[in-house]
Amino acid sequence: MIVTVTLNPSLDRTIEVDVLARGEMIRARSARLDPGGKGVNVSRALLAGHVPSTAVVTVGGPDGDQLHGLLRAEGLAVRAVPVAGRTRSNVTIAEPGGVVTKLNEPGAALTGAELAQVADAVMAAATADTAVAGWVAACGSLPPDVPAGIYADLCRRLAPAGIRVAVDSSGPALLAALPARPDLVKPNREELAEAVGRPVDRLADAVGAARELRERGARGVLVSLGADGAVLVDGDGVIAGQAPVDAPRSAVGAGDALLAGFLAAGARGPAALAEALAWAAAAVRLPASRMPRRSDIRRDTVRVQPHPDLDRPLTPDRPLVT
């Protein structure tokens, strides 16, 4: 069982346009509404891949009810924690070629009592099957005023039960989690550079920065590098890989699909990295924040290098996979 926790979920409306021009009336080519939030997307990807998962989410107001309804309609197992604030809404404008513009609301603050209820829900979901020591994936940004150490607290609470924790966040929340020794952290290139305070322009930079996060406490580091693929740095060494996409449609949720594929494949070694890249590439080929089904995943395009060229420069363009 893989449990995901999303403290700042959303309703995600994605609108596809031919070109985004400021100040003009633009006719949309298509639009869709999906449940959103990084942990939510990880669970949705696992569901599409027929991997058991439970999503722990906060829900508030009519938008929270709609989010819960969308998740249940997809067939996802959900532990919804009611909160006083309103669930946020996000808008993504997608242009051809995978270029996206995102407008994200900040979300509502959570009280100490609400955070305690979330922690209890995560623990209950993670220990529902005591025969399996699974994963908890703590994902996404934190709502306003939530302590940066919330993911670290989860790591410390779950470790005695033998439950492994993956943290996919950024900024203070990521840094605060490191001393609690999460089993995995999954920054993207921008988040990794922010964490170490220096640019990540070559594969060697990504590897060096990932090693620094391991020195600070992370047991494994999976870095999504957009069009340049991903790199895994853990106790077994360094592995890199790529999965080129000829016709990208949307990168929204692709990094979440990467994490889902990695966890689904055992979260260790070249095979897990290859599966992660295949899931992420499949997500990039799909519109909006759709998660790939088994039939969408192509493994023939994946290339994994156990001994990568560390001098390889990274693409200067904005990453496709976050």
Positions marked catalytic: 256
Task: For residues 202 and 212, give the distance between their C-alpha atoms in angstroms, rounded to a whole number.
Answer: 16
- Residue 12 has, within 13 A of its CA and on its CB side, a CA count of 23
User: Per the structure block, which two tokens stand in for 5?
Assistant: 């926790």
In sequence order, what are the residues at sequence separation of 6 or more whose Cβ sits closer than 8 angstroms to the Cβ of residue 280?
A: 224, 230, 243, 254, 255, 257, 258, 261, 321
d(CA 302, CA 208) in angstroms, rounded, equals: 24
End-to-end CA distance of the chain: 24
Burial 27-49 (b: 16+ CB within 10 A, else e): eeeeeeebbbbbbbbbbbbbbbb
Residue type, 179: P
**At residue 49, what are phi and psi to the nearest 5 degrees?**
-90, 10
Element (H, E) at 151: helix 150-158
Strands 30-36 and 99-104: unpaired
Separation CA 229–CA 235 (nearest Å): 20
Contact, 136 vs 158, CB < 8 A? yes
